[in-house]
A and B are shown apart, each in its own frame.
Chain A
């Protein structure tokens, strides 16, 4: 089954404790992206990657890091989480030839 898998689904952490949210896709897609979703603000892009070792900032990259060492994986790293990063996070992927993005089920993060 074609899918985008994020882990964990739920995470509660404390300010300053480094964390990683993993994302993996099995569709051989070149393009992967991270979004955060907040009430009243919709989905905003954090970082995206157009292929292995190619990443770039989206609209709200501050406080986040990403890496793309393998085509299927695109982890999101919060080196020093803060309460304003409490949000619902989505990973998405698409092939280079179409604009349709396929989303994971989401990771709900709470930073205390």
Chain B
């Protein structure tokens, strides 16, 4: 079983749609949960970062964490063409010899068409 599973898509939605991106993980030691966004021909950049279970909002983006189910989601409201990118969930290793290492999901390619 992979440590992190993310639906690779691709996902194509009309402008204004609500988008749901999801990852499951198996490592109970993961305590921090991140979403990175990667535009074409660019490096990933941090979009959202959360520690606890529950929801965290930032504008049109909501990160949701369910530690008991080992499941995280990113919701995008009122999606825009500028949201077209690859979205990667990421889990930092908070201790031990792999301190700071990020384990990434495979990435979901999202296209929002006008």
A residues neighboring B (CB under 8 Å)? 4, 31, 33, 40-45, 48, 50, 56, 58, 90, 92, 94, 96, 99-106
Contacts and interface: CB of A to CB of B under 8 A. Distances in A.
A52 to B, nearest CB: 15
Contacts of B57: none
B49 A48 contact: no
Contacts of A33: 100-102
Nearest to A41: B106
B41 A106 contact: yes
Interface in B65-96: 88, 92, 94
A27 to B, nearest CB: 14
Interface residues of B, number: 23
Contact of B102 (A45, A56, A106): A45
Contacts, number: 59
DSSP class of A's interface residues: helix, strand, loop or mixed?
Answer: strand
A99 B44 contact: no
Interface of B: 6, 8, 32, 34, 41-46, 49, 88, 92, 94, 97, 99-102, 104-107
A42 B107 contact: yes
Contact of B100 (A31, A41, A105): A31
A73 B46 CA distance: 22
A90 B44 CA distance: 9
Contacts of A48: 100-101
Identify the interface centre among B34, B88, B104: most chain A CB within 10 Å of its CB: B104
A92 B97 CA distance: 18
Nearest to A32: B100
Nearest to B106: A42
A102 B107 CA distance: 17
